[in-house]
Amino acid sequence: MGNLAYAVIFGFVIATGLPLNGASLWILLRHHTINSPSAVFMVNLAISDLVLIVSLTMRVYFYATGTWPFGNMACIWVTMLFRNNIRTSSIFITFISVDRLLAVVFPLRSRFLRTTSKAWKAAALVWVMVVVVNIPESVGFLRTLRKKEHACFVFYNDTRQLEDDTETLNVVIDYFQLVLLFTMLAVNIVSTVLVSWTIQRHLNESARVNNKVNVMLIFAMNLMMFTVFFLPVSLVVFFEDYRPILSCIASLNCCLDPLLYYFSFDGFWKRKEDVDTSLARE
Residues 6+ apart with CB under 8 A from 202: 278, 279, 282
One-letter amino acid of 9: I
d(CA 272, CA 276): 6
Residues 6+ apart with CB under 8 A from 55: 77, 78, 81, 82
Q: Which of 191, 177, 255 is nearest to 13 (CA)?
A: 255
d(CA 100, CA 194): 11
Parse the chain into domains and list their residue ranges: 3-281
Q: What is the pTM of this model?
A: 0.84
59 phi/psi in degrees, rounded to 5 = -65, -40
d(CA 3, CA 13): 16
Q: Which of 75, 72, 53 is nearest to 9 (CA)?
A: 53
Topology given in CATH for the domain delimited by 3-281: Rhopdopsin 7-helix transmembrane proteins (1.20.1070)
Residues shown for the chain: 282
In the chain, the N- to C-terminal Cα span, in Å, equals 56
d(CA 198, CA 132): 38
Q: Average pLDDT across each block of 10 residues of the chain; the chain has 282 residues. List them in order.
A: 85 94 87 79 94 93 88 88 92 93 83 89 95 86 70 56 57 84 94 87 47 79 91 76 82 89 58 42 39
